[in-house]
């Protein structure tokens, strides 16, 4: 029975992550698929770029909430809160939601890069770390106006803040933090190439979309 519950929660987390917020929002209110424009990704950044902040902000919020709610599903399990099993399940649910966001079953497995969903996961798992990481993201974004560079820098800072500054003792969380940092580099390979060639687009979140 316990195994069935855990599997069901993991499937639910994947399906939650698979909600293609950017795709559905763009099609519903603008009649376009954001994956056919801009960077071609179904994420908040591309939504800001293609549709503007009125579409980007709700997409960003929902994508963050997907990660947070997925982790909170662990409370429906038979595990004792804060036990090793509980924490491991939280991480498993977060990863399932992240996989769903990157490879959404509801959108032909063509999703986003998972930055907002990762933030939602981290907010739930370790709130103080998320504030530090978010601070890094905002500083780099304001200094460079490159969302991709800001995301990668924030991702790379995650293991440092969690394990060095906050002295995390959970090995599973340590592995997860390294996984996140590596994943963000992998999913931003094209951005890295454009950054090196100085071809990466800069953003202005305060600009109005015509």
Measured between alpha carbons, how far is residue 128 from residues 27, 119, 132, 193 in Å? Answer: 36, 12, 7, 32
**The pLDDT value given to residue 206:** 57
**Residue 210, pLDDT above cutoff 50:** no
**The pLDDT value given to residue 64:** 96
Q: By the 8 A CB rule, do 34 and 22 touch?
A: yes
Region for 109 from its dihedrals, namely left if φ exceeds 0, alpha if ψ lies in -120 to 50, beta otherwise: left
C-alpha R_g of the chain? 17
Confidence of residue 207 (pLDDT cuts 50, 70, 90): low
Q: Give pLDDT tens digits for 37-95.
A: 988 889 998 998 899 889 999 999 999 999 999 999 999 999 999 888 999 999 999 99
List phi, psi (to 5°) of 200. -75, 140
List phi, psi (to 5°) of 208. -85, 135
Distance of alpha carbon 42 from alpha carbon 35, whole angstroms: 6
Q: By the 8 A CB rule, do 30 and 55 touch?
A: yes
pTM: 0.88
Q: Give pLDDT tens digits for 7-39.
A: 999 999 999 999 999 999 999 999 999 999 988
**The pLDDT value given to residue 208:** 53
- Over the chain, what HEC string results? CHHHHHHHHHHHHHHHHCCCHHHHHHHHHCCCCHHHCCCCCCCHHHHHHHHCHHHHHHHHHHHHHHHHHHHHHHHHCCCCCCCHHHHHHHHHHHHHHHHHHHCCHHHCCCCCCCHHHHHHHHHHHCHHHHHHHHHHHHHHHHHHCCHHHHHHHHHHHHHHHHHHHCCCCCHHHHHHHHHHHHHHHHHCHHHHHHHHCCCCCCCCCCCCCC
């Amino acid at each position: 029975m316990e195994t069935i519950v855990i599997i069901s929660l993991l499937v639910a987390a994947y399906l939650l992550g698979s909600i293609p917020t950017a795709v559905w929002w763009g099609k519903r209110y603008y009649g376009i698929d954001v994956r056919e424009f801009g960077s071609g990704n179904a994420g908040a950044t591309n939504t800001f770029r293609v549709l503007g902040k009125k579409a980007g902000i709700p997409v960003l919020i929902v994508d963050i909430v997907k990660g947070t709610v997925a982790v909170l599903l662990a409370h429906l399990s038979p595990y004792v809160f804060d036990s090793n099993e509980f924490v491991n399940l939280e991480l498993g649910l977060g990863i399932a939601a992240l996989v769903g966001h990157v490879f959404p079953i509801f959108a032909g497995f063509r999703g986003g890069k998972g930055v907002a969903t990762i933030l939602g996961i981290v907010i739930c798992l370790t709130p103080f770390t998320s504030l530090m990481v978010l601070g890094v993201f905002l500083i780099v974004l304001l200094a460079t106006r490159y969302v991709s560079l800001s995301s990668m820098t924030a991702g790379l800072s995650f293991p440092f803040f969690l394990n060095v500054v906050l002295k995390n003792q959970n090995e599973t969380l340590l592995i997860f933090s390294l996984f996140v940092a590596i994943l963000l580099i992998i999913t931003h390979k094209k951005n890295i190439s454009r950054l090196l060639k100085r071809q990466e687009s800069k953003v202005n979140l305060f600009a109005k979309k015509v």
